[in-house]
């Protein structure tokens, strides 16, 4: 540790830096554990240059805590299973990306089970030694900031937690829990309540409902279960309504044949939440001779997750693959705590869990609950509309196996990429480590090809295993709602997940069974499956659990492909064919709405001539609409509410088109709005009524209506919603008198190319770097994004120095 004088000088240096001093005093502890320099450039981007891996984490943890302390701290409290201890029994917590809200008690019981010491030990033990140092360094740098804040060094900052009892110093294990929690976003953590409350339903009455006194045991019929799930998807809602829509992304990788000068380019555009701990944080990590990578990370991950360097750039989108499977257990009729496996009964593991609860008088009480596991994983009970769809009867029960709960390689995947030195090495590491939890990947590099790989962690359940092992009839019931999720017979050992020779671990598909593509022109993904990564070379023949083929693409995917095709042949009116970096930026933020291309002319020609009253006024606004979702777009809100009513929020297909979907022309079908249908006319009337009820004029420019949910309301936000076929996304709930409060959408955006000096990148953090209203970088980047002012991401030393707004050195 620093001696007292050195510590005092360092505290002064940090305070001066926070006040905007360009050159605060430095102090280095001789032989100290950490030594790192943090340089902030305009809009609050930290450039962290360190002498060791631990120091790199230390600088990152300190800089991150400056900007987003309270948001991450609350999530760390949650993953420790201590929400009830600090916030009481009546609160709740939402994992924003998957939409799951659990009360504090259920949340604590789930995370005590899911992320306890036993669960995180494999990740801790497997993490590369260098990134164990980074992880410990992050915790130490983060803790240093907490100590300073509590000592009064940063007055006014982090008011939401500065004096709270839940702001405490963290350990490296808290970081490993955070990595683990992120891996489970698209799998186990979707079922928090179903796992936390699972217990045997000891009797079922004639109605098939639990808790009746009848001795007659009768399962709900498959038809009853199907109807119940259709009416109330419950946790499956993440897969049916959210995945690939709000929790989505866009990305292109361009090879030499797609650009005017033969250079490679990359566009990355994740659509992550604008609130919560799954926001993205922009930084630059430099450890000479080891790492020099810039880009964005989810909160609490001290490695670049989407970014670039002089050798390559990459991005991600949420994959269509599933990362878990369900098993139907056949129970011992004399003991619901035993299940059959290869002719013998096994015990269901009973796990007593104890949590502390803060009562209304401030005292702490202790509560206990027993949770359960089979050898596959946690037991769960899923009810929908009061019916136990996946029940725990005297005869059957259900267990979830989560491939990402077994994934101890997530941090190693990104750490290795951060240290890679070529596109070829990046691609090789993708297949060797197989640590990507739930995203597709594209990448390219200077003079390189465009690469796509859907190499995420997916249960090795080929279609042949479904034929052999599906648990009927429940497998078919589940397929009707979430096709691709396997429900297998848990009583047979030959129904365990398979293993591939090229997989680094058993039970998941190896890289040879995952979709990949390498081309000289382009690849893309927009959260649909791998099938049309490039329509000139469709990818087919993969297991259904990885994705669907020859099915309707989202309107957003159609927009992404057609705008690429039109730019490459020059038919989009933007000049000579193919891309330059400015043209890539212009196309990707053009905010065009695909369904306007497919249906606006039909509405104006067929519905509007006979319209009267409010509908005539709405038609007058639509007649002025340019088919985009920009600030000055008049009529955009009428179209959005019309399509919200018409599609019920679905972003593909529909039976309201004159030309239906065809697998022979998937990019351009379905199309041509069938305005003769009563449903179309009814939806138009409903959309007009929704705008009228909001109080906004039908011809109100979109920029006067659409604002950030969580920053400053005087900032207009451009962009459209998924269900209307926007590529440039600004997603919100239905229109109200407050307008559209954008809560999801474009988040971190990067456009990257290379010249003889190395990487050239420009981009945005759309919601700005900090969640602390007292921070000068709470809204500044949002204003730049609103104005579409692309900013160079300072990467080279001269660029960083020219754009520097503060610098400080940390030692310990």
- Which residues are part of the catalytic machinery? 249
Contact 402, 187 (CB under 8 A): yes
Cross-strand bridge partners of residue 56: none
**Do the Cβ atoms of 263 and 760 come closer than 8 Å?**
no
> Which residues does 456 contact at the CB level (< 8 Å), separation at least 6?
319, 321, 323, 436, 437, 438, 439, 440, 514
757: nearest Cα among 444, 443, 293, 446: 446
Give the list of residues 6+ apart from residue 465 with CB closer than 8 angstroms, or none. Answer: 486, 488, 495, 497, 498
- End-to-end Cα spacing for the chain: 5
> Per the omega criterion (within 30 degrees of 0), is the bond before 473 cis?
yes
Find the helix or strand (DSSP H, E) in which 93 lies.
strand 92-95
Distances (CA, A) of 183 to 75, 114, 405, 408, 435: 14, 12, 7, 9, 9
Instruction: Give me the count of residues in the chain.
Output: 812
- Residue that the structure tokens 């979702």 belong to: 629
Contact 778, 770 (CB under 8 A): yes
Q: Are 315 and 267 in contact (CB under 8 A)?
A: yes
Cα–Cα distance for residue pair 199/202, rounded to 1 Å:
9
The whole-angstrom separation of Cα 51 and Cα 14 is 19
Region of 750 (left: φ > 0; alpha: ψ -120 to 50; beta: rest) is beta
Rg (CA), the chain: 27
**Placement of tokens 């293993």 in the chain:** 499
Asked if residue 775 lies in contact with residue 767, where contact means CB atoms within 8 angstroms, the answer is no
- The backbone torsions φ and ψ at residue 691, rounded to the nearest 5 degrees and listed phi first, read -65, -45
Q: How far apart are CA 754 and CA 751, in angstroms?
A: 11
Long-range contacts of 670-679 (CB under 8 A, 24+ apart): 670/552, 670/598, 671/598, 672/598, 672/599, 672/602, 673/595, 673/598, 673/599, 673/602, 673/603, 674/602, 675/599, 675/602, 675/603, 675/605, 675/606, 675/607, 676/606, 679/646
> What are the strands, taking DSSP E only, across 203-300?
248-254, 265-273, 280-287, 291-298
What DSSP line would sit under 343-364, residue for residue?
Answer: TEEEEPEEEEEEEEEE-TTS-E
């Amino acid at each position: 540790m620093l001696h007292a004088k050195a510590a005092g000088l360092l505290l002064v240096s940090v305070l001066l830096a926070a006040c905007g001093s360009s050159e605060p005093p430095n102090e280095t502890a001789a032989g100290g554990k950490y030594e790192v320099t943090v340089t902030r450039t305009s809009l609050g981007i930290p450039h962290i240059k360190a002498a060791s891996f631990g120091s790199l984490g230390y600088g990152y943890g300190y800089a991150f805590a400056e900007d987003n302390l309270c948001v991450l701290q609350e999530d760390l409290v949650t993953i420790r299973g201590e929400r009830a201890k600090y916030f009481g029994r009546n609160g709740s917590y939402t994992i924003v990306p998957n939409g799951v809200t659990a009360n504090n008690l259920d949340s604590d019981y789930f995370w005590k089970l899911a992320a306890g010491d036993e669960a995180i030990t494999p990740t801790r033990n497997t993490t590369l030694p260098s990134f164990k140092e980074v992880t410990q360094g992050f915790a130490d740098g983060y803790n240093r900031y907490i100590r300073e804040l509590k000592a009064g060094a940063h007055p006014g900052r982090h008011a939401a937690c500065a004096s709270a009892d839940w702001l405490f110093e963290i350990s490296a294990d808290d970081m490993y829990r955070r990595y683990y929690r992120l891996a489970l976003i698209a799998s186990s953590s979707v079922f928090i309540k179903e796992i936390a409350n699972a217990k045997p339903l000891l009797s079922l009455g004639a109605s098939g409902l639990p808790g009746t006194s009848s001795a007659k045991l009768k399962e709900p019929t498959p038809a009853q279960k199907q109807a119940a799930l259709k009416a109330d998807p419950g946790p499956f809602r993440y897969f049916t309504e959210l995945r690939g829509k709000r929790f989505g992304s866009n990305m292109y990788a361009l090879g030499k044949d797609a650009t005017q000068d033969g250079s490679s380019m990359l566009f990355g555009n994740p659509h992550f939440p604008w609130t919560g701990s799954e926001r993205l944080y922009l930084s630059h990590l430099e450890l000479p001779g080891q790492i020099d990578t810039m880009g964005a990370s989810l909160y609490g991950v001290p490695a670049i997750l989407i970014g670039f360097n002089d050798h390559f750039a990459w991005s991600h989108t949420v994959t269509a693959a599933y990362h878990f499977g369900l098993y139907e257990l056949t129970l011992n009729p004399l003991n619901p705590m035993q299940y059959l496996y290869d002719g013998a009964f096994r015990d269901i593991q009973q796990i007593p869990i104890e949590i502390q609860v803060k009562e209304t008088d401030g005292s702490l009480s202790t509560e206990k609950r027993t949770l359960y596991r089979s050898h596959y994983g946690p037991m769960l009970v899923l009810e929908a509309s009061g019916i136990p769809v996946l029940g725990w009867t005297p005869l059957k029960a259900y267990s979830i196996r989560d491939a990402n709960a077994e994934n101890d390689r997530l941090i190693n995947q990104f750490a290795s990429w951060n240290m890679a030195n070529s596109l070829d090495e990046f691609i090789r590491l993708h297949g060797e480590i197989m640590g990507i939890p739930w995203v597709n990947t594209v990448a390219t590099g200077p003079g390189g090809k465009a690469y796509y790989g859907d190499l995420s962690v997916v249960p090795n359940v080929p279609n042949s295993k479904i034929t052999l092992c599906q648990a009927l009839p429940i497998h078919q019931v589940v397929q009707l709602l979430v096709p691709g999720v396997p429900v297998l017979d848990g009583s047979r050992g030959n129904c365990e997940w398979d293993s591939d020779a090229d997989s680094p671990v058993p039970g998941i598909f190896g890289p040879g069974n995952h979709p990949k593509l390498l081309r000289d022109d382009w690849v893309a993904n927009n959260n649909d499956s791998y099938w049309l990564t490039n329509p000139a070379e469709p990818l087919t023949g993969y297991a259904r659990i990885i994705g669907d083929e020859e099915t309707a693409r989202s309107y957003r995917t159609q927009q992404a492909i057609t705008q690429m095709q039109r730019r490459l042949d020059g038919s989009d009116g933007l000049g000579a064919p193919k891309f330059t970096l400015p043209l890539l930026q212009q196309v990707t933020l053009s905010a065009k709405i695909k369904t306007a291309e497919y249906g606006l002319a039909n509405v104006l020609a067929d519905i509007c001539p006979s319209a009267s009253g409010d509908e005539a006024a709405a038609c007058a606004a639509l007649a002025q609409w340019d088919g985009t979702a920009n600030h000055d777009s008049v009529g955009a809100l009428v179209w959005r509410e019309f399509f919200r009513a018409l599609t019920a929020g679905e972003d593909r297909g529909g039976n309201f088109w004159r030309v239906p979907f065809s697998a022979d022309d998937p990019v351009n079908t379905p199309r041509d709005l069938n305005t003769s249908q009563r449903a179309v006319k009814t939806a138009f009337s409903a959309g007009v009524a929704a705008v009228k009820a909001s109080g906004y004029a039908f011809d109100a420019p979109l920029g006067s209506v659409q604002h950030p949910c969580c920053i400053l309301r005087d900032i207009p936000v451009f962009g459209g919603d998924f269900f209307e076929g926007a590529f440039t996304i600004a997603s919100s709930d239905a229109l109200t008198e407050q307008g559209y409060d954008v809560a999801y959408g474009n988040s971190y955006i990067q456009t990257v190319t290379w010249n003889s000096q190395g990487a050239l990148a420009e981009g945005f953090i759309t919601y700005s770097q900090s969640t602390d209203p007292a921070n000068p970088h709470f809204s500044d980047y949002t204003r730049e994004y609103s104005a579409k002012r692309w900013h160079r991401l300072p990467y080279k030393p001269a660029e960083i120095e020219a754009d520097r707004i503060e610098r400080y050195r940390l030692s310990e």
